Structure 1
Amino acid sequence: MSDYTSGSGHHAHRAPRAEFYVYFALIFLVAIPFALAAWVVQVAVNRALPVHGPLARAWREAGTITPNIFRP
């Protein structure tokens, strides 16, 4: 029989709560100007449009940062 009270490091996967989405939205909104600036620099340097636009970059950044806030 398994003992799940020992704190073996296994955590159940929980559905994101409203707090997660609030943080995600705030981080996304803050990341947009930085992603736009990075996109403009990339266009100027490479003289070609990147595959992903500034909103996709900001979305990816928010998706990377937000779970780290809620990690135990």
Structure 2
Amino acid sequence: MDARVDDKVVLVTGASRGIGEAVAAEFLASGARGVVITSRKANNVEAAAERLGEPDRVLALAARSDSVDDAD
């Protein structure tokens, strides 16, 4: 990744596995100060945070982060 993230904090939604987790890992490798990862299920996002292996730089949040309107 050729992104300029040195000393930045980034947010990655849907980061409990697959592409989202890989993107979070790449931001960490690219020098991000921190990465906030989200997923709907707490146990999934906490497991992803452990796999990323940077407890001082990763914040895991269980949160609904889509834009679906419940009225639809």
**What TM-score range do you get, normalising by the shorter chain?**
0.3 to 0.5
Bigger-Rg structure (1/2): 1
Normalising by structure 1, what TM-score? Answer: 0.32
Normalising by structure 2, what TM-score? Answer: 0.32
State the structure with bigger RCO (CA 8 A, min sep 6), 1 or 2: 1
